[in-house]
Amino acid sequence: MRVLKALIAVLALVVIALVAAQVPGGQSLLGRVLPYVAFAIFLGGFVQRVVYWAKSPVPFRIPTTCGQANSLPWIQQNKLDCPSTKAGVVGRMVLEVLLFRSLFRNTQAEVQQGPRLIYGSSKWLWLFALLFHYTFLVIVLRHMRLFTDPIVPFVHSLEFFDGLFQVGAPVLYQSDLIFMGAITFLFVRRLVLNNIRYISLPADYFPLFLIFGIGLTGILMRYFLRVDVVAIKQLTLGLVTFSPVINGQIGTIFFVHLFLVCALMVYFPFSKLMHLGGVFMSPTRNMANNSRMVRHVNPWNDPNIKPHSYASYEDEFREFMVDAGLPVEKEMPAAQEKSAE
Amino acid sequence: MYGKGRIIPALLIFLGLMTFPLWYNAGFAHQAPKPEKPAEYKECVRPTQEMRTSHMVMLNQWRDDILREDGARKGVTADGTEYVRSLQNGCMHCHANKKKFCDTCHTYTAVKPYCWDCHLEPKEAM
Ligand code: HEM
């Protein structure tokens, strides 16, 4: 049911785009107005969300420690998994962002006969997540051919290496195949593993379907339902130079592709996809574990409230503590004890 | 807001990257390609719109058809002009100036067909 809800939502988006591309003025709306609105919401929402996060104070060091902390000189520290310096944190973040290191440590729990609980290494999620994200990046960078004139030079080498096998015309891009394969894996994983399906919500399936739809319409457009790329580039280049025009016949499929991308941009800042910004903002990743070397003072402490040590606490309440029979570190002065009796 | 010193520059870099096409293109004159059409012929091997979208699909089919299936090497347009189903002797016979025809569109959309690794471009004089 949770799968169906998400699927229906994406199919509804496709139908909206199909219909809107047919009615007069619809193409203009989808192609010349909506992209600006969606892009503005994407940027605005993104900044707003990051600022919102930045407003939460994180007074204390709360990094996840996955290795030996900095300790005595003869105990070897795990500098990446429990960094105590800025350099260590930077190293940890770089590996996390570029190689998904924490996902590499993903384990899978399994109950075997006995019953015995066994944790095994599980690298598939890491592998396919990495493939998915990098091919997504390659595809988006390659799309820069539609948005730049003169074309940024890296596009040519991307296209060359991506089409190295020279299959068919237009040349088949390996990244397209890997992209669709990887996103299918990520989806099937949620369906097939009982425990993952149990915790999956429509908000997990929806972005998968949406991105799958974007990839599928793009691939249909390139390899099957050909479109007039020159006419499309006039529109897309027009969009980024603030003079969008629709010349000639652009296939309906392009508007479905574009509409789904716009939906993704609008959805992005308000969804789990914000992990794009969130990974940099996680205090559990971006802080050094140096609480033993540096004193971290809570910034919202009231300066009028002075520190109250146990010694002074006992000084203040010793009489009552003794009366109540509580143990004290320093006995009452003898004279006072007498008079108290 | 905490960590202003790091977060604001990071956000600015993010916005700069995201809006890259907006400022990259400023300052260049943009002109849609105008491929020079052949003077001595009136129509292409298929309707013009279909040629614009799918000429590479057709070339690929010709190639497979001729070299693997022993298909016909000649074809006829809708109004009866005979043409050679070939890249060098067909397309380039009518569209004799590669630079002013094929390349105008291809440069505009970052397409570099590898066909010319083997096939010969028509000579300038033709
Ligand atoms: C989330 C961002 C996007 C993704 C993941 C995506 C995905 C894809 C994929 C997988 C293809 C197949 C061909 C290839 O890999 O180059 C494609 C083609 C295409 N996309 Fe996108 N796309 C995105 C955004 C856009 C945008 C914003 C536009 C235009 C406004 C666009 C226009 C096109 C066009 C015109 C093609 C056909 C290119 C051709 O025939 O060679 N895409 N897209």
Task: Check if A311 contacts B (Cβ < 8 Å).
Answer: no
Q: Is residue A296 part of a domain?
A: no
pLDDT of residue A301: 83
Structure-token match 């600022």, residue found: A51
How far apart are alpha carbons A117 and A138 in whole angstroms? 41
Bridge partner list, A116: A112
Q: Is residue A272 part of a domain?
A: yes
> With an 8 Å Cβ cutoff, are B110 and A156 in contact?
yes
Q: Are residues A69 and A203 in the same domain?
A: yes
Q: Are residues A330 and A219 in the same domain?
A: no
Asked if B8 contacts A127 with a C-beta cutoff of 8 angstroms, the reply is no
Find out whether the beta carbon of A255 lies less than 6 Å from any atom of ligand 1: no
Q: Are residues A81 and A211 in the same domain?
A: yes
Q: Are residues A198 and A251 in the same domain?
A: yes
pLDDT of residue B125: 45
Separation of CA A214 and ligand 1 centre (Å):
8
How far apart are alpha carbons A10 and A253 in whole angstroms? 15
* Closest approach atom of ligand 1 to CA A239: 30
Q: Is residue A205 part of a domain?
A: yes
Q: Are residues A272 and A328 in the same domain?
A: no
Question: Measuring CA to CA, which residue among A52, A22, A85, A65 is closest to residue A250?
Answer: A22
Overall domain count for chain A: 2
Task: Check if A41 contacts B (Cβ < 8 Å).
Answer: no
Q: Are residues A223 and A328 in the same domain?
A: no
pLDDT of residue A307: 81
This complex has an ipTM of 0.92
Q: Are residues A46 and A191 in the same domain?
A: yes
Separation of CA A339 and ligand 1 centre (Å):
90
Q: Are residues A193 and A325 in the same domain?
A: no
> With an 8 Å Cβ cutoff, are B109 and A233 in contact?
yes
Question: Measuring CA to CA, which residue among A262, A260, A266 is closest to residue A42?
Answer: A266
- Coil/strand/helix, residue B70: coil
Burial of B30 (0-12, 13-18, 19+ CB in 10 A): middle
Residue type, A84: S
Q: Is residue A242 part of a domain?
A: yes
Q: Are residues A106 and A212 in the same domain?
A: yes
**Which residues constitute the domain of residue A317?**
310-340
> Per-residue pLDDT tens for A88-117?
999 999 999 999 999 998 888 888 888 888
Find out whether the beta carbon of A176 lies less than 6 Å from any atom of ligand 1: yes
Q: Is residue A295 part of a domain?
A: no
**Confidence band for A86, pLDDT divided at 50, 70 and 90:** very high
Element (H, E) at A210: helix A202-219
Asked if A35 contacts A258 with a C-beta cutoff of 8 angstroms, the reply is yes
Q: Are residues A213 and A317 in the same domain?
A: no
Task: Check if B57 contacts A (Cβ < 8 Å).
Answer: yes
Burial of A52 (0-12, 13-18, 19+ CB in 10 A): exposed
Which residues in B lie closer than 8 A to residue A48 (C-beta atoms)? Answer: none
Give the CATH number of the domain where residue A13 resides.
Answer: 1.20.950.20
Least CB–CB distance from A228: residue in B15, B25, B53:
B53
Q: What is the pTM of this model?
A: 0.91
> Per-residue pLDDT tens for A63-73?
999 899 999 99
Q: Are residues A105 and A243 in the same domain?
A: yes
For strand B74-76 and strand A116-121, is the pairing parallel, antiparallel, or unpaired?
unpaired
End-to-end CA distance of chain A, in Å?
A: 76
Q: Are residues A208 and A274 in the same domain?
A: yes
| All structural domains of chain B with their residue ranges | 48-118
Q: Is residue A301 part of a domain?
A: no
Q: Is residue A113 part of a domain?
A: yes
Asked if A240 contacts B25 with a C-beta cutoff of 8 angstroms, the reply is yes
Q: Is residue A300 part of a domain?
A: no
